[in-house]
Structure 1
Amino acid sequence: MITNSHTVPLSAPDVGDLEQEYVLAAMRSGWVAPVGPDLDLFEREMAERVGVPHAVGVSSGTAALHLALLGIGARRGDVVVVPTLTFAATANAVVYTGATPIFADCDVTTGNLDPFVLAGLLAELSAEGASVGGVMTVDLFGSCADYKQIVPLCEQYGVPLIEDATEALGALHRGRAAGSFGQAAALSFNGNKIMTTSGGGMLLTADADLAHRARHLASQARLPAEHYEHAEIGYNYRLSNLLAALGRAQLRRLDEMIERRRAVHEGYAKVFADIDGVRLLGGEDPMANCWLTSIIVDPERTGWQARELAAHLAERNVETRPVFKPMHLQPVFAGARTALTGAAEHLFGHGLILPSGSSLRDNQVRRVLDDVTEFLDGHR
């Protein structure tokens, strides 16, 4: 949807005076190139926030996923298990390494990777003697995957785990922060994420060697020499110092932005509380960051479908979006191997994401809730 000044956006950037202060200070310092003190500090501060020893600031969450996969040794001839309910970047990063993604279905309640599907798939692959390069999880819409079950499964089969936490910064699972699970994890600071650096991402890991390798590859794999010396192919993946300055300001405000999104989420929960056939995806996870609030509609019980509410809101300049189209339904991955239960297709067919941004003003939130209520009253 193309938005205008009267459109209520889905998840717009939330920036203000503090961000301007940090970016201006970085500009005045002269550190406008892709390295500098703000980048060093941003990496250190983010590592401390998540509780991991190492962080590498990069140009996008996709770059972080790519480097993480390279770090665990994913390569041509390997297969990597990927949740089918995700954004394309998760699967694309696997293809970048030459490995082949296998798409596994989700838990219908949370939308996250189904541990039971994963268990069956890993058993099959082990029996086949397949070279499994890794398992990727996605902390969908800001709610962590079930690591209590997934981590032991990966350990049982000796398969590295990569956590796509690009949507989940600030969320927790059993007291541990999103981004602290597995051999490495990826964050995204895209403009619509829980916090932004305009564009950017970060790789997180407890493995010093993996972090060093990622930093080397992200800097065009340049070797220490007076001239340009390269022994392997690298990538232009480093985050700029200016964007890191913006990220440092956003990190200071992260908790308040999460609380704002949780308040918006709670508003939707109250509106739909007495509507038979509507539930919030993920349930009421108190540790989620509520990046995006999605409802799942059972039309046989409600008498209406998610797309009808979407059309009603679009007429009133309120932006919505369907839940991710599963990767196994994407033309680019036609014919890929799958392990499916039908859950992801159900969520795609019956899900709707509602405006969730922390930058939403009170009057915008009231407007959306009133528009939703108007629709529900007309269908009671």
Structure 2
Amino acid sequence: MNRLAWAGLIVKILLIVICSLGGYLIAEQLEALSFYPWAPWGGVLVGFSFALVALFLVKLIRRIHIKILFGGTIGLLVGLSIAKLISFGFTGVENTTIRVATYVVLSCIFGYVGMVLGSVKIEELGWPSWPWLGRISARTSSAKILDTSVIIDGRIADIVEAGFLEGTLVVPEFVLQELQRIADSNDATRRVRGRRGLDILKRIQEEGLAPVRIERQDFENLSEVDAKIVALALRMNAHIVTNDFNLAKVAEVQGIRVLNINQLANALRPVVLPGEVLRLQILKEGKEQGQGIAYLEDGTMVVVENASRLLGQEVEVSVTSILQTTAGRMIFTTLKGSESGRRH
């Protein structure tokens, strides 16, 4: 558990203690309850319940987009104001109970209607054309949901440490469960990958590279982890960080911003242009007859024509063409001059 998580836990404990103690003191001082010796402890229970309700409301509100929250609040205030104005028409009623009951009913009706309409109709006001609300929206939507593939990959920790990924990293509980299943797999390779993913999360938390939040929200009606991730991103208005090509496409179709680590790696690879001369070592034979295979420092495969006889040698090659595929980039080259095959 990182420092932010510890601070949040301490604040929650303080809230529960203060509410419970406040309930005890209030119940103890009420004359109407002075005849009941158990009243102060009942006050503790009431205060404790209020603290739990407050924690639940905070958890619920955190999932609501700032646009809906703002519109609902404005609508609620307008509805309560209308209820107050209408209640003035009942000032002539002598029965206090009827006046109070009427005001409560009107407040509930107009408050509810205003809150619902405000949260729906706020969209028609041109959100987020108001600059200050746009900045708030941008901050609240900065959460990044990590899927299983990007956690196992491991590069996410280095990217966060370098400062290229900001905001809260959200790890759904169902993703953690999938990581645990992989780590407990009978297959040695899968087991190593799963344990590495858990180690990566532990490193991010312990080193404080970024705030990490375990999201316990689940979707019982969905069975696939990818579908749950998409549903969670829509609900939280969050981005998805993944290496899964299919998940990225499904999310983009639904209007979700996707950050693909593989695309970032491809974008950071050095630019190689046709005609450029490279110095490489031939490591193995290619699929076609006579071809040799070499690699750039970033792992990009280079196909060298007529170089299969030069295994283990350093050669100078000239770039002829570059092929970009979904799996990565391939560079095709030819040997440069007759002296390029000489052993160095």
TM range (shorter): under 0.3
Between structures 1 and 2, the one with greater helix share: 2
Q: Which has the higher contact order (CA 8 A, sep 6+)?
A: 1
